[in-house]
Amino acid sequence: MYEPILNSLYARFSVKGRAQQIRFLQGLIPPMKALHGGYQTSNVVSAAYGSEEAQACYMLRYFLPYSELLPSVLKPGIATGLADSVQQLMFFGPGPAPELYGFFRWLAPRRTRIAARPRLNVHLLDIASNDWSFARDICTEELIPTVWSTPVSYHPRTFDYTTKWAESRLTGIFARTQLFVFQNCLNEVSASAHEHVKANLKWLEEVMPLGSLLVIIDRDKYPSVIELLKWVKGRVAYGYLECLVGREEVFRHNAVPLINTIPAIITTDAGLLIDSAGGYINRPGGSGLFLQREIGYHAVVMRKVRT
């Protein structure tokens, strides 16, 4: 799965031949460290995504492991009916949209041919939507077509999820959407901004269609996001939503099968798996410049059950 990402990066950065490819990958070590450094906090994340090099690093380091998180919470039973009913999807803070790529890989074997015919509408709402176009294009133009063949309309928009949704021009779209996803993005705003998110989610609770799903997934190290997830789970008391997944404990996603597919040009030739302390990921406990073998995350999945 890494080959299509590598090939599109080589093409977009005009990298030709193996020697140039290795030099290109080695050149990504400094931006890779800078990107990784932005996440080393239990507070508000401050990673810079603007440069194409930073986005190339995100594609190599985070994209594929994070594409596995959304499918890992859409267990049988949770997503009953979703595969055939979904026509409109909304992703908040998707960046290059690994969760969307993962969703299409999940959807492809589950959707019947009849349901597959109408065009899917995908809304990608990110505060840095324009900045992310380089990596998002790799996802939508080169990766998704390898797993999903029927037409999709993508609507990337600059959108701050902390602003008042009830006043946005998208209100009609919210009311026609079957899947709302926040993945790994609520850690990028402060706890006080989460109050605005709560107000928006209360509004969403009323307008989202019957049977639609709200999915929130975030890494395990951000206390304010965990508080927000508990609050979301507590909304069952108001009767509009049922909680399908809402565990306080950390989910552990096994990334080993994926890590085992990382090509040698990354691991051996370019040495991209060496972390700042010189540790290799394939050494027990090594962190490396790629993700750990186990990705710890929290998740809630809520379904609208009453209008």
Residues at the site binding ligand SAM, with contacts judged by CB under 6 A: 62, 66, 92-95, 98-99, 126-128, 132, 159-162, 183-185, 188-189
The letter for the amino acid at 272 is L
Smaller CB separation from ligand SAM, 65 or 288:
65
Instruction: Report in angstroms how near the CB of residue 142 gets to ligand SAM at its nearest.
Output: 17
Distance in angstroms (rounded) separating the CA atoms of residues 105 and 59: 17
DSSP reduced 3-state for 158: strand
Distance in angstroms (rounded) separating the CA atoms of residues 43 and 222: 6
Two tokens at 84? 């055939």
Cβ–Cβ contacts within 10 Å for residue 6, how many? Answer: 19
Residue 128, C-beta contacts closer than 8 angstroms, at least 6 positions apart: 49, 50, 95, 158
Smaller CB separation from ligand SAM, 92 or 134:
92
Instruction: Report in angstroms how near the CB of residue 275 gets to ligand SAM at its nearest.
Output: 19
Instruction: Report in angstroms how near the CB of residue 62 gets to ligand SAM at its nearest.
Output: 5
Distance in angstroms (rounded) separating the CA atoms of residues 264 and 267: 5
Instruction: Report in angstroms how near the CB of residue 70 gets to ligand SAM at its nearest.
Output: 8
Smaller CB separation from ligand SAM, 22 or 259:
259
Distance in angstroms (rounded) separating the CA atoms of residues 13 and 291: 24
Smaller CB separation from ligand SAM, 22 or 229:
229
Alpha-helical (H) ranges within the chain are 2-12, 18-27, 29-38, 52-58, 64-67, 69-73, 82-85, 98-107, 113-116, 133-137, 171-174, 191-207, 223-234, 256-259, 264
Instruction: Report in angstroms how near the CB of residue 98 gets to ligand SAM at its nearest.
Output: 5
Smaller CB separation from ligand SAM, 21 or 184:
184
Smaller CB separation from ligand SAM, 273 or 295:
295
Instruction: Report in angstroms how near the CB of residue 38 gets to ligand SAM at its nearest.
Output: 9
- Across the beta sheet with 120-126, the strand order is 152-158, 120-126, 88-92, 179-183, 213-219, 294-304, 241-254
Instruction: Report in angstroms how near the CB of residue 188 gets to ligand SAM at its nearest.
Output: 4
Cβ pair 157, 123 in contact under 8 A: yes
Q: Of 148, 135, 151, which is closest to residue 5 (Cα–Cα)?
A: 135
Smaller CB separation from ligand SAM, 188 or 205:
188
Instruction: Report in angstroms how near the CB of residue 306 gets to ligand SAM at its nearest.
Output: 28
The residues pairing with 251 across neighbouring beta strands, listed in sequence order, are 297
Smaller CB separation from ligand SAM, 227 or 306:
227
